[in-house]
Every structure is written in C-alpha cells, then in structure tokens.
Amino acid sequence: MTSPVTASAPHPPHYTSVPDWTREPVVQPADPLGRVHTVIEVVGEDPAATAPVVAGWVAGLDGRDVRHRACPDTAAAVAALEADLVTAKVGHRVLVAGSADACLAVRAAGVRGGLADDEMAFGVVSVETRTVWCVHCSAATVAKLALDDVVACSGCERGLLVYPHVSRRTGRHLGFMVDAEEA
Amino acid sequence: MSRLSLVVAGIDDTVPDVRRLVLAPADGGELPSYTPGSHLVLDVPSGPGRERALANAYSLVGESLHPSSYEIAVLRCDPRGGAAGGSAWVHALRTGDPVTATTPRSSFAPVQPATRHLLVAAGIGITPLVSHLRFHARWGREAELLYLHREGRGAFITEIDDLTDGSASCFHDRVSLLARLRERLLDQPIGTHLYTCGPTGFMDLVVAEAQAAGWPSSRVHLEHFGLDDLDPGEPFDVTVGEQCFEIASGVSLLEAMEKQGYAVPNLCRQGVCGECRLELGPATTGVWHRDLYLSDDDKAAGDCAMACVSRALPAADGRAHLEVLL
C-alpha cells in the first residue's frame, strides 16, 4: 500500500496545517484556567498507552470539574464530545488522548462544535496511521502512512500522494493522484 | 494613503460632552462600506492649543453598508486636563466645515464564526459596539450588551434600545456592572466571543473577570483608545540611514518620520495593529515599547519597535537613541 518517502521529499514546514503532534507523539499540558474539562480517551487498540496520559491530566486538574469519557473508537469519541458540547459554556476545555488520527477526527468535531484552538489539547500516543481524503472520488483511506507517501485510494484505486495538508473541518489529509500530469 | 474629502453635514450635542458628527462626502455620492467596529482617522490641523497636526481615530457608529455619510461620536476632552486637542477641535467644528480622513480601517470586527456575542462598554467606548449591534440586528445574531455610563450621560440610548429590543443592561457604577458581568461570563454557550471597549483600567477589569471565569484569550477582544493614556516621554534621537534627527517629548517616532518624508506603513497609530513595526540596529540604546502588538520575546530582543508608540530608553551615559533600519 505504501511507498517509502523519497530522499528528496522536504520535511513539511511548521506552518502547514498538519499539527506537529501528528509527526511525533506529544502530550500537551491541560489548561488549568478552564472551569470544566472533558477528557476524551480514545482507547483504540492500546489501552495501556492512553491510560497514563489521562491519569496525568486528571491528577493535574485535581479539584476541578473533570468529565472522563472512555471511548472504544473514534466514532464513539466524536459522539461523546458532541453530546458534551450541547450544554458547554465558555470556560470549557477539551482534552483528547489517543492516536494522532483519532485526535484529528475529534478536533474536527470540536471545531465544528465551536471550540477554539486554545480550548483543546491533545495527548498523542501513536502517529503511524493517517486518514487520506481523495479529491477525485471523496473516499477516505485509512492506512499506516507518512506525509508524502503514496497510497492506493480505497474508493477509486488511484495512487494518492499524502499531501501535507489536514482539513480542520474533517481531520483528513488531502490526497490527490500522484502522477496526474504524466498519466 | 488615500484621503477622503468630507464636510460636516450634521452635529448633535444632545448628550452632554458627547458630540455626534455626521460627515458627508464633499462632492456628494456614496462612501466606502466598512466592517463593523471600524474607525476613521481624522486629520486634525495644528492651531490654537495644538502646536502640531494630529491624526485621531474615531469609531464609526452609523450604517456600514453603502453609507451616504459617516457618523462618529466624540467625547469632550479638555486640553487643560492633558488632552492633545483633537477632541476640542471636533467640538469646535461647524456645519459645512471641511474634514479630511482616511478610509475606514478595521481592527475590532465581530468574529464571523461566533455563535453569540457578549459586548461590554464603558462611557464613550460604546461607539464601536453600536456598530457591532447594527450588524447583529441586521443578520439576526445573538448579542448581549452591558453598558456602563454616568447617569444622564449615556450615548446612543435610543438606538441601543431599538437594536437590542430593550435587552441591553445599563449600569451607573462599576461595582454593579462587574457583579452582573461575573454572572453573565459563567453562562455563555461555547462559541460566544467577548468584546470590550472603554478606558484601559476598565478593560483590564473585564479581561481579568473573563480569565477568572475560564475564558481563553482567543475569545476576548479589546478596542483600545490608545495614545491618550501614554506619557509624552523624554526627547531622544534617531538615525535613519545617514540622517539623524531628534524626537521631542510628546511627538511620536511615526509623526517625526512622516515629517522627515519617510512613508512608514501604519494603521491604528495606537500600538495595536502592528503595521508600523520598524527594525532597529545595534546602535539602539534601549526600547520603551508600550505597544500591545509585539510578543514578550520580540520586546526582549530589542531589535524592533512600533513607530507610533515606542520610544528610546537611555543608556547608562544618559544618551537615548534608536537606529532605524529601513
């Protein structure tokens, strides 16, 4: 499915829309100024990875209103966040622990729900998997991918370049046909 | 910078010490539309009580779409109390007098994706928020206003009533406004943005209350009156390339450079917008920044300054100097 990054591929600059925490696992600190904190734990395949991240945040927020939502997968995490945001007031913070792919999807739900960037923090435990959205057929392909890799689209089988751009609204990477000019 | 030629088309002095001024294009026709919360920078000529010309920013309070005139409201500030004289000049204008101004400039716009808007004004700081209220009323946006003014001195009371269907809350003392603000800050749905305009000390209180209620800085927006509160400062000297000149107390680096013929890009002229940032060379003795734009790291580096508000700090030998790199 994947090809190695070519030696000439430049490292994406820091001003792209791809957050640093999708390149290497980073655990951002909780914001102690928040009044209410929703902690979304996307347990996924490796509960042992997210548990210490959540424990660290909860310990740091001792005495505050913390709502821990343990979710088996990204869809459940998005649903849990959307439910919390219905009644959320300004002063609310959202913390998300999970893979970078899950964090991007939950962040997108937060953006759609009106959260600002300084109201969300992420604890990333793995960065191998990315979701790529095909500009040609709109299918989403999920695979272990690095930026600038090429992957076969799960919808139209075109070879998609994983472009260093992530949609804030969907959390997916932009993918387009790698050799469109030559083909 | 393009200038508009306007004439005073209407004056309303109904509210004590607040003059509402209608400015129409000198040659008739329509004026440029503007973003709610925008301001005009009026050219205030030198004259009695004003040694030098001033450029004063005033918020636009009227209709922002396809306006046939601009409207501003100016509080009377007495030069004997330290005011620079722009307000006194406005209060002496008569119908038909010519006025030149910049086209409207925006630095305090309503946030488009916001789901709700909480507005907090004190005194003449109501002006940009009247413009916001017109916008919210037109587009059916949820907005709430808390307005502090002295009894009998409230400006725009009738318009505010119309624009908010009477839901605005007026206060005559800071303590009651802050008590109400504290409650309201805890009860705003996520997606709400906060806007405040008033004297610096008042806005500091509003920001502190918002922080205490857990508001992140991205949701809090301020419109500063700017330079009025600034110390005139000590004289210092400046080099620009080969040229060296002195900046007198009370004159900004921006004004001095413009007088020398340098075109320094600028917008707000009050240390907010960042347009007039200048790079400084190693001969600089020190910078008294005073702006609200540069980050703490930028300020600590000492290699840049905002021409509109920053001044030189003296070195140990008492010499105060800025080396401007253009």
ipTM above 0.95, yes or no: no
Q: How many CB atoms lie within 10 A of CB A165?
A: 14
Q: Does A113 touch chain B (CB under 8 A)?
A: yes
The Cα B157–Cα A157 span in angstroms is 64
Q: Strand ranges (DSSP E) for A43-182?
A: 65-71, 92-99, 120-126, 129-134, 140-144, 150-152, 159-166, 173-177
- B231-325 to CATH, choices 3.40.190.10, 3.10.20.30, 3.50.30.60, 3.40.50.1220: 3.10.20.30
Q: Which residue of A has its CA nearest to B193?
A: A90
pLDDT band, very low/low/confident/very high, at A4 (cuts 50, 70, 90): very low
Q: Which residue of B has its CA nearest to A32?
A: B214
Question: With 50 as the cut, is the pLDDT of residue A43 above it?
Answer: yes
A-chain CB neighbours of B213 within 8 Å are: 35, 90-91
The Cα B189–Cα A90 span in angstroms is 6
Instruction: Pick from B142, B185, B190, B193 the residue to mutate for testing the A interface (most A CBs within 10 Å).
Output: B190
Instruction: Pick from A31, A81, A85, A90 the residue to mutate for testing the B interface (most B CBs within 10 Å).
Output: A90
* Stretch 91-110 of chain A: residues touching chain B, C-beta under 8 Å: 91-93
Interface touch B213/A88, C-beta < 8 Å: no
Q: How many CB atoms lie within 10 A of CB A95?
A: 26
Question: With 80 as the cut, is the pLDDT of residue B21 above it?
Answer: yes
Q: Does B187 touch chain A (CB under 8 A)?
A: yes
pLDDT band, very low/low/confident/very high, at A44 (cuts 50, 70, 90): confident
Domains, chain A, ordered by start: 25-126 (3.40.50.2300), 129-177 (no CATH)
Least confident among B142-146, B184-188, B272-276: B272-276
The Cα A102–Cα B300 span in angstroms is 39
pLDDT digits over B34-52, tens only?
A: 999 999 989 889 888 787 7
Q: Cβ(B283)–Cβ(B321) under 8 Å? A: yes
Q: Where are the domains of chain B?
A: 3-102, 116-223, 231-325
Least confident among B141-150, B178-187, B229-238, B306-315: B229-238
The Cα B201–Cα B184 span in angstroms is 20
Q: Helix A100-112 crosses helix A74-86 at what angle (to 10 degrees)?
A: 30
Average pLDDT, rounded, for chain B: 91
Backbone phi, then psi, for B195, in 5-degree steps?
-130, 130
pLDDT above 90 coverage of chain B, percent: 72
The Cα B182–Cα B213 span in angstroms is 8
Residue B249 burial class via C-beta count within 10 angstroms: exposed 0-12, middle 13-18, buried 19 and up:
exposed
Question: With 90 as the cut, is the pLDDT of residue B272 above it?
Answer: no
Give CA separation, A113 vs A74, A173, B97, B140, in Å: 16, 20, 51, 20
Tokens of B11: 């004056």
For B153-220, the DSSP string reads: --SSHHHHHHHHTT--EEESSHHHHHHHHHHHHTT-BTTEEEEEES-HHHHHHHHHHHHHTT--GGGE
Question: With 90 as the cut, is the pLDDT of residue B81 above it?
Answer: no
pLDDT above 70 coverage of chain A, percent: 91
**For residue A16, what pLDDT is reported?**
83
Q: What is the 3-state secondary structure (H, E, C) of chain A?
A: CCCCCCCCCCCCCCCCCCCHHHCCCCECCCCCCCCEEEEEEECCCCHHHHHHHHHHHHHHCCCCEEEEEEECCHHHHHHHHHHHHHCCECCEEEEEEEEHHHHHHHHHHHHHCCCCHHHEEEEEEECCEEEEEECCCCCEEEEECCCCCEEECCCCCCEEEEEEEECCCCCCEEEEECCCCCC
B-chain CB neighbours of A33 within 8 Å are: 211, 214, 216
Q: Does B166 touch chain A (CB under 8 A)?
A: no
Determine the 3-state secondary structure of B27 from DSSP.
coil
pLDDT band, very low/low/confident/very high, at A183 (cuts 50, 70, 90): low
Per DSSP, what are the bridge partners of residue B305? B278
DSSP A150: E
* Stretch 210-229 of chain B: residues touching chain A, C-beta under 8 Å: 211, 213-219
Average pLDDT, rounded, for chain A: 91
Interface touch A35/B188, C-beta < 8 Å: no
**What is the mean pLDDT of the segment spanning A133-146?**
97
A-chain CB neighbours of B115 within 8 Å are: 114
B116-223 CATH fold: Rossmann fold (3.40.50)
Which has the higher per-residue pLDDT, A16 or B138?
B138
pLDDT band, very low/low/confident/very high, at B194 (cuts 50, 70, 90): very high
At position A165, the amino acid (one-letter code) is H
A-chain CB neighbours of B216 within 8 Å are: 31, 33, 116, 118-119
Q: How many CB atoms lie within 10 A of CB A71?
A: 22
User: Which of B64, B58, B202, B189 has its CA nearest to residue B123?
Assistant: B202
A-chain CB neighbours of B188 within 8 Å are: 89-90
CA distance B293 to chain A (A): 19
Q: Which CATH superfamily is domain B3-102 in?
A: Translation factors (2.40.30.10)
The Cα A24–Cα A11 span in angstroms is 13
**What is the mean pLDDT of the segment spanning B150-170?**
93
pLDDT digits over A79-93, tens only?
A: 999 999 999 999 999
Least confident among A34-43, A114-123, A159-168, B100-109: B100-109
Q: Cβ(B144)–Cβ(B192) under 8 Å? A: no
Least confident among A9-18, A64-73, B240-249: A9-18
CA distance A64 to chain B (A): 12
pLDDT above 70 coverage of chain B, percent: 97
Interface touch B189/A115, C-beta < 8 Å: no
pLDDT band, very low/low/confident/very high, at B1 (cuts 50, 70, 90): low
For B219-252, the DSSP string reads: GEEEE---GGGS-----EEEEETTEEEEE-TT--
Q: Strand ranges (DSSP E) for A115-182?
A: 120-126, 129-134, 140-144, 150-152, 159-166, 173-177
The Cα A96–Cα B39 span in angstroms is 41
pLDDT digits over B119-133, tens only?
A: 999 999 999 999 999
Cα atoms in the 13 Å half-sphere on the side-chain side of B285: 15
